[in-house]
Chains A and B, each alone.
Chain A
Amino acid sequence: MGTAKSWLLDDSPASRLQASLGRSYRMARMLMRNPLAVVGALILLTLLVTAAFAPWIAPYSPLGQDLGARLLPPSAAHWMGTDELGRDIFSRVVYGARITLMIVVLVAVIAAPLGLLIGAIAGYFGGWVDRLLMGLTDVFLSMPKLILALAFVAALGPGIENAIIAIAITSWPAYARIARAETLTFRNAEFIAATRLLGASHGRIIVRHVLPLCTSSMIVRVTLDMAGIILTAAGLGFLGLGAQPPLPEWGAMISRGRTFILDQWWVATMPGFAIIIVSLGFCFLGDGLRDVLDPKQGGKS
């Protein structure tokens, strides 16, 4: 134990692996000192576990109807009650974790690299490339995101895949701005000039030397944005434009419960708690990560 720790904290690491593992270890330790960040990390861990082991956690099938057990209030048999088709709401919320996780991962995987690349190219080349790309970015940035996503879904047609595409299209500009700002700070640095003198191509410099330096601020920003992405996806589901029934998507479940809100409050209320907890988890972890990875911004909020 003691040797593993000293190996991780070694001031002169012998390999790249040791250096990066050591850095992760130091960050994890700093993160653990922030109680809200720990809560956030635990919430997201729960989300991962729930999504992975949904069939073992959920006591009932998420789609199995039981019309004899319609709209039952929360009880020992049905922790969150049942919906209008007699489906167990807790089981549906558990399976819904998979959909939420899929949305979050796909949006991050599409939007972050796209924004990263556009921002890095704009910052690295400068001049008219920069002006063109950033002009485009600014137009998208000054647009209301939810409305734009709605219009894109209207054009593409309702469905969870199209909702993900629409959210990704509206989320990349913020990442492009950050990547550009980061790139500008070390664009004229000696190590870039040295790499260029060694004969590296522009593409290689951007991908191998510029992008890795942008990732830490990108991770912070993506984590902080996740709450907004979950809310937008749930909103699209609520309006009937996202996930389609019978998929147990949390926003769509709230939409189904809307009719019964005055008498059977649990149908709409329970999935909402799931959304709030997961979004709060991302907010907490994002705040903590920012304090660790981006100390300049740390004290501000």
Chain B
Amino acid sequence: MKSLDPRVNRLPVVGTAGNIIPKAALDQFGTFEVFVQPKEGKPFQHEGAVHAPDLEMAYVLAKETFTRRFTCTSLYVTDTRDVYISPTTEGSQNVYTLIEESATQNNTKSSFEIYHLLKRGKQHQHIGTVEASTPEEAMFIAKQQFSSDKMVYNVWAIRTNTIRFTTPEEKDLWNTLPEKKFRDASDYKGGDKLKSFLERQS
């Protein structure tokens, strides 16, 4: 096939054009949940998921997918399976009314990050950290510490030590953004050229 695409003409062809060989069966990577801090001092919020073979690659892919442009000062990721989820409520029912004191407790405590869903259609937001021995206990402690008049519809708890955080040295990952003016709408001013063209026409 004569193509306009140099990749098609220049490179050795693996199959025949139009005769598409089926690719290998499902070989899907696991998912990792991505949390982004949009501005310094703002809480982290859930942004979405990436597929990756491990936590470290998930971090790299999350950086590429969710932190383009001026929307991020820090980022972290965790395996989807490490997120503990409360039931979801609606209307005037606060989810904390469903969370009871957990029966299973022991003395080996670890820290959990707690996230609230405050409005349907919005993202989960980080609200604070608690010390607990189980995710259930973490949610109960969160109820005591973080429940207020504000309606909460869903709570997530994640063991802090399962999260891949951005280290202080990595913070400069996002420092290059201001240099890339060519990705900024304000860098494309054609108005003067257009105006003088239109004046010549009339």
Is the pairing of A and B real? no
Q: Which residues of A contact B (CB under 8 A)?
A: none
Q: Which residues of B contact A (CB under 8 A)?
A: none
